[in-house]
Structure 1
Amino acid sequence: MEQPSWIVPDWPAPENIRAVSTTRCGGISRPPFDSLNLGARTGDDALSVTENRKRLATALGLPTAPRWLAQIHGSRVVTAEEIEPDETRADAATTGATATVCAVLTADCLPVLLCDRDGSRVGAAHAGWRGLVAGMLERTVEAMGVAPERLMAWLGPAIGAEAFEVGDEVREAFRLSDPGCEACFTAGRPGHWYADLGALGRRRLSAAGVGALYGSGLCTYSDAGRFYSHRRDGRTGRMATLVWRAH
């Protein structure tokens, strides 16, 4: 049986922090969800998603089942303890509990993990452009409950700047709240721009006081063998980015 594959964040997190970002490889879902689809709201067979989640939990030795969210491209942050499986509508979760796994699902949007330097709190956020404009990351930083300068963040695989084409209205939405963000946009065809989602996320985190920023630099759109991409494929699966305190 093929084992799930994943990416381990390259960040100087405390030794009790565990974090992983999955790829699309190692599951049983059939096309167009092949193969390790972890998203229950994609249209994939429910039994396949359940089996994929079991495989991931076994391969990683997860202490408990991840606290999956019903993501809404908004800015609501909850504690992991208040999540009802696949029902709590939010886009980020934080916790200070041991063995509680925070998780977000993505297929182009930016997954962001947070932890503090003492290893006492963790958080996971799902940030598409709408969430970034709405203050998703700033609210997650605040919900961590520690001084921002004591936090570090890891930005996972997301659609790259060469592939994420947006309209004038998206660029203007960012400029209204962050006039200095122009460098994150490159002109494309008339009325359109290529947006650097990772750079926009880093600007938001920096403005919120988080100075220790790390990232995978991996593009979901350009690597169809490893990653799902909604922009590239439309109907597709979801990867997961997870973080928890081992002790």
Structure 2
Amino acid sequence: MNSWLTPDWPAPANVRACVTTRDGGVSLPPFEGLNLGDHVVDDPQAVQHNRQVLSSSLGCQPAWLSQVHGVRVVKADPASVEQADASWTDTPGIASAVLTADCLPALFCDRSGTRVAAAHAGWRGLAGGVLEATLDALAVPPGEVLVWLGPAIGPEAFEVGPEVREAFLACHAESAAAFRPSLNDGRYMADIYQLARIHLAARGVEAVFGGGFCTVSDPRFYSYRRSPRTGRFASLVWLAE
């Protein structure tokens, strides 16, 4: 079996989730490994092979999105590539999936194991409300929601300008705690995991797990900040058939 991650969260037994790594694919450098992104100028046949490996390994049908750093949420449909940054499903065997390489992937499920969702949250989407939009689409009371935060850029690597800090402070004043001055004058180091928890807590979601990764420093994952010409890994969640 490939060295992919299985989220550590108390999800119901019928809720399955996975995060891929670079392990197991046929893409050549600089995409070396299991690149699943079809928008990074990798060989399309290699990407298609990698996606087939993923689907057959997991036994589900991923519903891919055309991600644009927005807040649109759609129902997961493997037959249609929607322009959106999150999807949800209540259909067993169909996986909500997002592709990332430093942005934050967030996986959702309800405690009864009837609905799941996946969201792609770069800083723009996170500040814009993509996690809140995903909660709205799930249509589950906040106390019934579990969230797992997948591999993203860590707080020691995520240097941002003042406009990023201001965007989050405009949403929630307590976001100030997720920023500290960087060594570069006028810039900040941001904790995207803490920011996500603040946004979720504001909506009453306290059962949040995961975090603690850093895609920039962990070579298992693709990282755009480490190497702008790189692939994408996937975070998926689905209901077992």
Q: Indicate which of 23, 39, 42 corresponds to 1:41.
A: 39
- Tell me if the contact between 1:92 and 1:125 (Cα under 8 Å) persists in the aligned partners: yes
Match of 1:66 in 2: 62
Structure 2: gaps of 5 or more residues: none
User: Is it true that 1:162 corresponds to 2:169 in the alignment?
Assistant: no
> Residue 202 of structure 1: which of 187, 194, 197 is its match?
197
Give a deviation string over 1:204-233, Cα, whole Å, max 9, x none: 111111110100421100012x01000110
Give the counterpart letter for 1:10 in structure 2: D
Q: The residue matched to 1:104 in structure 2 has which SS? A: strand
Aligned mates of 2:176, 2:25 — CA distance in 1? 40
Q: Which residue number corresponds to residue 235 of structure 1?
A: 229
Q: Following the alignment from structure 2 to structure 1, what is the Cα–Cα distance between the partners of residues 37 and 213? A: 20
1:5 shift after superposition = 2.5
Q: Which amino acid aligns with 1:214?
A: F
- Once residues 179 and 113 of structure 2 are traced to their aligned partners in structure 1, the CA distance between those partners, rounded to angstroms, is 35
Q: Does 1:17 align with 2:15?
A: yes
Residue 143 (1) aligns with residue 142 (2):
no
CA shift, 1:98, in A, is 1.3
Shift of 1:84: 4.7
Question: Unaligned stretches of 5+ in structure 1?
Answer: none
Q: Distance in 2 between matches of 1:101 and 1:40?
A: 18
How many residues align? The count is 240
Question: Which letter maps to 1:220?
Answer: T
Tell me how far 1:58 sits from its aligned partner. 2.1
With the length of structure 2 as denominator, give the TM-score of the two structures: 0.97
Quote the residue 1:32 is aligned against: 30
Among 168, 188, 201, the residue aligned to 1:174: 168
Query: With structure 1 as the length reference, what TM-score do the two structures score?
Result: 0.94
RMSD of aligned Cα (Å): 1.1
Aligned mates of 1:176, 1:191 — CA distance in 2: 18
Cα distance in structure 2, aligned partners of 1:19 and 1:91: 18
Identical columns (%): 54
Query: Stretches of 4+ moved more than 2 A in 1?
Result: none
Q: Work out the CA distance in 2 between the residues paired with 1:199 and 1:148.
A: 18
Contact 1:4 1:55 in 2 (8 A): no
Question: Contact 2:6 / 2:17 at 8 angstroms: preserved in 1?
Answer: yes
Asked if 1:57 is matched to 2:51, the reply is no
